[in-house]
Chain A
């Protein structure tokens, strides 16, 4: 090889991204060229140094499923609110009042459920801490390995219990939202029917008045 390979080519070489044929060529060049050998050695030193910064394992697995269900529940509630807003954009004041009241009620319910959920979470965290503490106390005198195994087991059991509790709470929220939504629909239908009856009655009265007017 008459010319020196480029830095880009050496990068492919060092990270094994070149073809076998090209790799062999560059390897041969490296044996023959002291300047390139020194440069590649420098880069290799940096690569080896980079390997010394290892990261610990992720401390805890995340679970986004509850958050997703929460988000879905929030979307349902907002969707209902938005739909109600659209439906009540007419001049029907009764319906507006009713939907506003229902929306407020639903928001209050949702806020209370959220508070309950947060409280449950705090309690579960406290219970977990207690479980770990209890495991640690019991494990005094045992081997370190057994000690950590017990803690790990306690955490796993707690995590499973937490997940079950989250799922149950979220199912409850979803069911409540579904029933609220159904109730809202029924109420809106009732109001619509009543309003329709009212219009019909008014129309009939007007017709009656018109027909009862004396001729000039």
Chain B
């Protein structure tokens, strides 16, 4: 980022985009619940990053600067959508799911359909969560930031982040009760590896 800030180095910026494109796009997608919008917002985030490169203080952590900028863009977009009454829980289009067609070793069509329905239920539940809870879930659970790092990004104490996370998981549990009940009856594919399985 320093080379971008001081020398306007295009190669350095390209490297930076390559490193951060996916996480930022995922963040925007999960915050808005829309893959296409997420892609657009991520591009906007990088355009804004370049435009405001001089505002970056090298004393601060670059990732915090970038996450915060991307989140602000997501908040702006969500505000706009709410104002226009466009924010909806509509199912994502077929394109989002078409990736499954290409996976030769994937599950059977029936199992795939069930997986898709579950994923859609989770997407809807996440979109229904209030923003302060949603952002914590997205950053901690999906993007893997530590609670302390989330506190830095959001400018709130670490303890507040944790309490929001617990409240978010509680609310999600209520919203996803049918999915969770179903889930407990079957083995979980692609289970994330960490502590939660050990006890």
Residues of chain A touching chain B, judged by Cβ–Cβ distance below 8 Å, are: 7-8, 10-17, 23, 27, 30, 40, 42-59, 61-65, 67-69, 71-72, 144-145, 148
Contact = CB atoms under 8 A, between A and B. Distances in A.
Given A49-B125, A63-B14, 12 more contacts: A14-B195, A15-B196, A16-B196, A17-B147, A40-B199, A44-B196, A49-B172, A49-B183, A50-B172, A51-B192, A62-B46, A71-B50
Contacts of A44: 196
Nearest to A41: B184
Given A11-B166, A44-B196, A50-B141, A61 B18 contact: yes
Nearest to A50: B141
B113 interface: no
Contacts, number: 137
A36 B170 CA distance: 13
B10 interface: yes
B54 interface: no
By secondary structure, the A interface counts as helix
Interface string B29-56: 1100001000100010011001000000
Given A45-B180, A48-B188, A72-B8, A15 B195 contact: yes
A8 B162 contact: yes
A11 B146 CA distance: 11
Given A52-B115, A53-B122, A62 B43 contact: yes
A57 B122 CA distance: 19
Interface in B49-84: 50
Contacts of B196: 14-16, 44, 47-48
Sort A-B residue pairs by CB-CB distance and give the 5 closest, nearest first: A68-B10, A7-B166, A16-B195, A8-B162, A45-B180
A35 to B, nearest CB: 14
Contacts of B29: 55
Interface residues of B, number: 60
Nearest to B182: A49
B190 A54 contact: yes
Given A51-B190, A68-B50, A46 B172 contact: yes
Given A51-B191, A56-B99, A45 B173 contact: yes
Contact of A62 (B21, B35, B180): B21
Contact of B169 (A23, A47, A62, A145): A47
Contacts of B11: 65
A64 B162 contact: no
B1 interface: no
Contact of B26 (A11, A43, A52, A55): A55
Contacts of A71: 50
Contact of A46 (B17, B147, B169, B195): B169
Interface in B110-133: 115, 118-119, 121-123, 125-126
B82 to A, nearest CB: 22
Contacts of B10: 64-65, 68-69, 72
Contact of A58 (B25, B170, B191): B25
A54 B167 CA distance: 22
Contacts of A13: 195
B129 to A, nearest CB: 11
B21 A47 contact: no
B163 A7 contact: yes
B192 to A, nearest CB: 6
A23 B115 CA distance: 33
A101 B150 CA distance: 54
Contacts of B122: 49-50, 52-53
A8 B46 contact: no
